[in-house]
Amino acid sequence: MFSFLSVEFALLFIAFFAIYWACRSKPAWQNMLLLGISYVLIYLMAGVLAVLVLLVFSVLIGAIGQVLSAPNAKHKKLWLVVGVLFTLANLAFFKYYEFFREHISQVMQMQGLDSTHLVANIIFPLGISYYSFQAISYLVTIYQGKLVLPKLTLWQTLTHFSFFATISAGPITRLTDTKGLNDITGNPCGMHAQWQTSRPRHIIMPTLAFALILLALAKKWWLAGYLADQWVNPVFANPTGFHSLEVLAAIYGYTLQLFLDFSGYSEMMVAFGLLLGFRLPMNFNAPLLAHNIREFWDRWHISLSTWIRDYIYIPLGGSHHGFVRTQLNLMIAMVLSGIWHGSTLNFLFWGLLHAIAIILLNVGDLLGQKITGNPKGRNFLTSTGIFGQVVGVVVTVHFVVFAFVFFRATTFDEALMIFGALFGNHHITWTNNPMYLLFILAAAWLCYPMARTLAIKTAPMIAKIPSVLIYPLLFVGFMMVVIFAPSGIPGFIYANF
C-alpha cells in the first residue's frame, strides 16, 4: 500500500512542493493543486471507492453548507439536521457494516433465510471518520453564523475535506479558531481564513518542519516499529507463552508504541502543513505526564477530544445542569468516543472505563473540596503539592496503560487472557530480557519532563543556528533513523479508525 513513509511518496512530494511554490502568487491555484494531489494520494492509498465516497460526500455536504450560509436561508435547522444525519449515516454504514452484517446474517439464518447475498465485505474508505467529524463541525459552524468572512466556495470545501495532511488520521481541523486547538506556536489555527487568503502564502519555519519530520520518523518508524516487532506483537499474539514480566513490558510498550506512532504521524502532518504554508493544530501535548485522567484527555488526541467536547458533551448540556447530569453527559461522551474507535465490545468497555475514571476524579475533587475546604475544587490532588502531582501522574499513566489492553486486544476474552498471563505466568522462562525494556521505559519517563523543558528553552537558540549547519545535521539524523528502523514500512494504527 502507498504510504507517507515510502520512497514513492517522498519523490512525489518533492515534485509537488516545487510546483506548489512555483504558484506562490496565486493561492487559489495552490488550493486547486492541493485538491488534486490529495485525491491522487487517496486513490493511491485506498483506491477508487475511497475517492468516490469522499467526492460524493464532500459535494453533498458542501451543497448543504452553501444553503445554510445563504443570506436569507430558510429551514436552516432542518438542513443542519439533514446534513448531520447524512454524515452519521454514511459513517455508520461503512464503520459498522461488518458488525451489523454478522448479526443480520445470524437472524436471517435463524429464520431459515438465505443470507449469502448480503454484501460480504465493504472496504472502509480511508479517512472517513476524520472528514465526517470535519463535516459536522463545518455544518454547525456555518449554522451558528460564526463565519463572517466570505463563505467557502465549493472547491475550497472539497479541499478542506480532502487535504492530504489531515484526511488519513487527522488532526481534525475546524474552520474557526477553537479553544484548546492551537498550532505549534500556541496560536489558534482555524482553516477558514487559511483557505480563503488571497495574500501569497509563505513556507513556515522549514527547519522546524524538517526537524518535526525527523522526530516523527524516529518516533513512528524506528521506536514504535521496534516496540511492536520486538516486544508488543509477540506477547499480545500469544500471552500464555511469556513470563509475567515480559507481559508487563509488552503492556507498557503498547501504550508507548501507540503514543509514538500516532503523535509521530500527527507531527509529520503538521510539518507538511508548515512546508505548504498552513498552520495545523497540534494533536498531542505530553499526555503521559498528565496529572489526572481529565488532563490526559486535554493532552491526548486533542483534536478529537475537543471535538467530542464541542459537538457531544456541550450540546448534551455540558456542566450546566448540576453535578449528576454533568457526570451523565461525560459518560455518554466517553462511551461514544469508545464506540467510535471500533464496533467491538472492547472499545465500548474502554470508553466506559475512561468515563468511570473521570467521574471518580470529579467525585474525588468534590469530596476533597468539601472535606478540606480547599476552594480549588478541580485537580484537588495536584494542588496539594509535588507529592500529589507525582502520585497523580503515576496513577494516571498506569490507569491509561492497563485500560489500553482492552483497546489492543481483539476480544474481551483475549484481554482477560493478557491479564491472566500478567498475574499467573511466573513459571515460564524468559524469551527476551524484560528488565532491559522496563529500565529504558522508566529512564525515559523520568527524563522526559527535563528533556521537554530543555527542548523548549533551547529552541530559540537552535533557531538562530544558520541553516547551512542545521540542514546537514538533519540529513545525518534522517540516515540514522533509516538505518535504525526495522525493515519494512509500518502501517498507520489510527488510519484504521
Residues at the interface with another protein (CB under 8 A)? 7, 10-11, 13-14, 17-18, 21, 24, 102, 105, 109, 115-116, 120-124, 148-149, 177, 183, 185, 187-189, 193-194, 197, 199, 202-207, 209-210, 234, 237-238, 240-241, 275, 279, 410-411, 427-433, 435-436, 463, 467, 471, 474-475, 478-479, 482-484, 487-488
Gap between the Cα atoms of 161 and 127, Å rounded: 10
Q: Which is nearer to another protein, 372 or 458 (CB)?
A: 458
Strand (E) or helix (H) holding 315? none
d(CA 404, CA 256): 10
In angstroms, what is the minimal distance from the CB of 258 to another protein? Answer: 20
Amino acid at 167: I
Contact (Cβ atoms closer than 8 angstroms) between residue 100 and residue 89: no
Query: Which helix (H) or strand (E) element contains residue 178?
Result: none
Smallest distance from the beta carbon of 201 to another protein, in angstroms? 8
| Cis amide linkage into residue 171, ω under 30° from 0 | yes
Determine contact, residues 95/133, Cβ cutoff 8 Å. no
CB nearer another protein, residue 43 or residue 484:
484
Any idea what DSSP says for residue 287?
G
Element (H, E) at 269: helix 244-275
Q: How far is the CB of 471 from another protein (least distance, A)?
A: 5
Q: What DSSP string describes 20-56?
A: HHHTTT-HHHHHHHHHHHHHHHHHHHH-HHHHHHHHH
Which residue has 478541580 as its cell numbers? 378
CB of 338 to another protein, least distance (A): 20
User: Residue 286: which H helix or E strand, with range?
Assistant: none
Cβ at position 336, least distance to another protein in Å: 25
Cell 471535538 found at: 307
| Closer residue to another protein, CB minimum distance, 229 or 298 | 229
- Residue 308 or 495: the one with the smaller Cβ distance to another protein is 495
Cell of 198: 488571497
Of residues 59 and 474, the one with the C-beta less far from another protein: 474
Shortest separation between residue 476's beta carbon and another protein, angstroms: 10
Q: How far apart are CA 404 and CA 400, in angstroms?
A: 6
Q: How far is the CB of 36 from another protein (least distance, A)?
A: 19
Residue 483 CB, shortest distance to another protein, in Å, is 5
Residue 427 CB, nearest distance to another protein (Å)?
A: 6
C-beta of 257 vs 379, nearer to another protein = 257
Nearest approach, Cβ of residue 454 and another protein (Å): 21
Instruction: Considering the complex, state which of residue 20 and residue 138 has its C-beta at the smaller distance from another protein.
Output: 20
Q: How many CB atoms lie within 10 A of CB 286?
A: 13
Angle formed by the axes of helices 206-217 and 244-275, to 10°? 160
- At position 76, the amino acid (one-letter code) is K
* Residue closer to another protein (CB basis): 249 or 397: 249
Between 243 and 301, whose beta carbon lies closer to another protein?
243
User: Are the C-beta atoms of 156 and 31 separated by less than 8 Å?
Assistant: yes
Structure-block grid coordinates of residue 261: 506512532
The smaller minimum CB distance to another protein, of residues 35 and 184, is found at: 184
- Which residue, 197 or 383, has its beta carbon nearer to another protein? 197
Calpha distance 221→7 (Å, rounded): 14
Q: Rounded CA gap, 394 and 389, in Å?
A: 9
CB of 277 to another protein, least distance (A): 8
The crossing angle, in degrees rounded to 10, of helices 412-424 and 386-408 is 120
